[in-house]
Amino acid sequence: MKKIFILIFASVTFIGCKQNDEYKKVDASQIKVEGSMNAELTAPPFVPKPVGDRPAKKLIVNMEIIEKEGEMADGVKYVYWTFGGSVPGSFIRTRIGDEVEFHLKNHPDNKLPHNIDLHAVTGPGGGAKSSFVAPGHEVTFSFKVLNQGLYVYHCATAPVGMHIANGMYGLILVEPEGGLPPVDKEYYVMQGDFYTKGANGEKGLQPFDMAKAVKEEPDYVVFNGKTGSLTGDNALTAKVGETIRLFVGNGGPNLVSSFHVIGEIFDNVHVEGGSLVNHDVQTTLVPAGGAAIVDFKVDVPGSLVIVDHSIFRTFNKGSLGLINVSGDENKTIYSGTQSDEVYHPEGGTIQTMPNETSAKAPKAVTLVERIAEGKSIYAKTCFACHQATGEGLPNAFPPLAKSDYLNADVNRAIEIVLKGKTGEIVVNGKKYNSVMTAQTLTDDEIANVLTYVYSTWGNSKKEVTPAMVKAVRSKK
């Protein structure tokens, strides 16, 4: 009995030690600085060079606040307020014991005063009070970094929520003595939610919408300030065998992020950006005004998808990024599809989507009405898969923008929307082999949505009428 007790006690203490790693609190206030240097600042998705084994220094940060127009999504303009000209703002990399001399400059062309609250600062308002700066002014304040970890900084000028919602946030990293363990690639990814007067995708210059922000109903939830900041030519890259570290932040202002990378498992996560390291994690929670450091080794080639796993945000509001991994396959780790045979449950392979819009859709008669009506149908039914601007998703959903397949045969396109589609097709030279669900839409709705698709994104401008849809519907 006694033996068993000792055994249990011993194993509990053993596990206990193991989980606590070897965290030792250092009294950073006693660390002496040796010399000074200018901080390297980088725009996302890049980060400055690691601190390595450099001693603590006086680190001079020159940060300029710039208010400027940018693009939230294709054709959607937004006036961002930025730290250093980017959203999120410039990445600041320090080590424990550094004395940061912070120069905050408010560009003379800016309209508003701003300041900065750095969560890495021990002191009133994280520096906010001492850093309040009017347009055309520069303020200076200093602080010693006492705690290691990854910290958010943000503007804290009233109305605070609005300054953050316009993009005024970024990350400051405090590395431990000797630096973080080396990895092959490091990237900077920060989520934010945005509130525009127009609905998601509505073009033109979009002012900030305070009412939506108060209700916490964003039109956009994105990484690095805009949709597409980490896709297409902006996708992150890696090679098989490399270890990747992501410095992940969440500026909010409102939403909490369920940060996940589809196709990977985080080997290590600095939980909440602090010193506790968790291992083998699928999704890590990044609170508004919080951060996490995740790393993983990429073992097989392909596209990893960075998402907020509150997944409608990803497929409907923009929080989607890619890491394109190149290199050799490893069939032991991942086989790829080993067989694909036709599976016929009762009723066929194509499922039907329920649809409540059919009854109340108004009749469009002119081409302009058809396009307007079609646009709203697109936003309700097609958008989730083919994306806001019809570009589709690599390997999953074919593009409708400039689609040779679409433009080649209008009756075939009508049939696809009517009855769904499965089996291999080639669109703009790329193969797709997936399933499009049958859309339960009326003849009018199909005519309108297809007319809209044909009339936008460089397509053939073909008008589709209800009569044409009717003809295809009555075919066999």
Residue 163 found at the interface with Cu ion (CB under 5 A): yes
Residue 61 found at the interface with ligand HEC (CB under 6 A): no
Among 168, 174, 189, 305, binds Cu ion (CB under 5 A): 168
Question: Is the bond leading into 88 cis (omega within 30 degrees of zero)?
Answer: yes
Pairing between β-strand 58-73 and β-strand 76-83 as defined by DSSP bridges: antiparallel
332 Cβ contact list (under 8 Å, min separation 6):
none
Token pair for 17: 């030690």
Among 86, 229, 254, 381, binds ligand HEC (CB under 6 A): 381
Tell me phi and psi for residue 366, to 5 degrees: -80, 165
Question: Which strand (E) or helix (H) includes residue 370?
Answer: helix 367-377
Strand order in the sheet with 117-118: 41-42, 91-95, 169-175, 149-154, 117-118
Q: How far is the CB of 163 from Cu ion (least distance, A)?
A: 3
- Angle made by CA atoms 105, 109, 115, in degrees to the nearest 5: 35
Q: How far apart are CA 210 and CA 205, in angstroms?
A: 16
Q: Binding site for Cu cation, residues? A: 114, 119, 154-155, 163, 168, 309
Cα dihedral sign, 29-35-38-43 = negative
Q: How far is the CB of 134 from Cu ion (least distance, A)?
A: 11
Residue 439 found at the interface with ligand HEC (CB under 6 A): yes
Question: Interface with ligand HEC by CB under 6 A: which range of 171-179, 326-334, 422-430, 465-473?
Answer: 422-430
| 224, amino acid identity | N
Q: How far is the CB of 367 from ligand HEC (least distance, A)?
A: 17
Cα dihedral sign, 308-314-317-322 = positive
Among 130, 157, 200, 254, binds Cu ion (CB under 5 A): 157
Q: How far is the CB of 133 from Cu ion (least distance, A)?
A: 9
Token pair for 38: 């200018």
Q: How far apart are CA 99 and CA 48, in angstroms?
A: 18
Site string for ligand HEC, 335-374 (x = CB under 6 A): ----------------------------------------
The β-bridge partners of 236 are 323
Secondary structure, 3-state, 83-116 = ECCECCCCEEEEECCCEEEEEEEECCCCCCCECC
**DSSP 8-state secondary structure symbol assigned to residue 393:** B
Which CB sits closer to ligand HEC, 372 or 435?
Answer: 435
Question: Interface with ligand HEC by CB under 6 A: which range of 121-129, 241-249, 308-316, 393-401?
Answer: 393-401
Question: Interface with ligand HEC by CB under 6 A: which range of 146-154, 182-190, 205-213, 432-440?
Answer: 432-440
Q: How far apart are CA 179 and CA 54, in angstroms?
A: 9
Q: How far is the CB of 418 from ligand HEC (least distance, A)?
A: 10
Question: Interface with Cu ion by CB under 5 A: which range of 31-39, 117-125, 131-139, 167-175?
Answer: 167-175
Residue 416 found at the interface with ligand HEC (CB under 6 A): yes
Q: How far apart are CA 146 and CA 141, in angstroms?
A: 16
Tell me phi and psi for residue 384, to 5 degrees: -55, -35
Question: Interface with ligand HEC by CB under 6 A: which range of 58-66, 92-100, 188-196, 395-403?
Answer: 395-403
Which CB sits closer to ligand HEC, 328 or 404?
Answer: 404
Collapse the DSSP code of 3 into the 3-class scheme (helix H, G, I; strand E, B; otherwise coil) and give the result: helix
Out of Cu ion, ligand HEC, none, which partner does residue 155 contact, by CB within 5 to 8 A per kind? Answer: Cu ion
Give the number of other CB atoms < 10 A from CB of residue 340.
7
Q: Please, are residues 377 and 370 in contact by the beta-carbon 8 Å criterion?
A: no
Which CB sits closer to ligand HEC, 37 or 350?
Answer: 350
Query: How many chain residues touch ligand HEC (CB under 6 A)?
Result: 30
Out of ligand HEC, Cu ion, none, which partner does residue 114 contact, by CB within 5 to 8 A per kind? Answer: Cu ion
Out of Cu ion, ligand HEC, none, which partner does residue 407 contact, by CB within 5 to 8 A per kind? Answer: none
Out of Cu ion, ligand HEC, none, which partner does residue 160 contact, by CB within 5 to 8 A per kind? Answer: none
Closest listed residue to residue 416, CA positions, set 392, 395, 441: 441
Q: How far is the CB of 470 from ligand HEC (least distance, A)?
A: 17
Out of Cu ion, ligand HEC, none, which partner does residue 310 contact, by CB within 5 to 8 A per kind? Answer: none
Residue 317 found at the interface with Cu ion (CB under 5 A): no
Query: Can you list the alpha helix ranges (DSSP code H) found in 142-286?
Result: 160-165, 210-215
Residue 292 found at the interface with ligand HEC (CB under 6 A): no
Residue 398 found at the interface with ligand HEC (CB under 6 A): yes
Question: Interface with ligand HEC by CB under 6 A: which range of 21-29, 305-313, 323-331, 383-391?
Answer: 383-391
Which CB sits closer to Cu ion, 108 or 362?
Answer: 108
Residue 406 found at the interface with ligand HEC (CB under 6 A): yes
Token pair for 102: 């912070």
Q: Kindly list the residues in this chain that would bind ligand HEC in the complex (CB under 6 A).
A: 381-382, 384-386, 397-400, 403, 405-406, 413, 416-417, 421-423, 425, 427, 432-437, 439, 449-450, 453
Residues of the shown chain interacting with Cu ion in the complex, contacts defined by CB under 5 A: 114, 155, 157, 163, 168
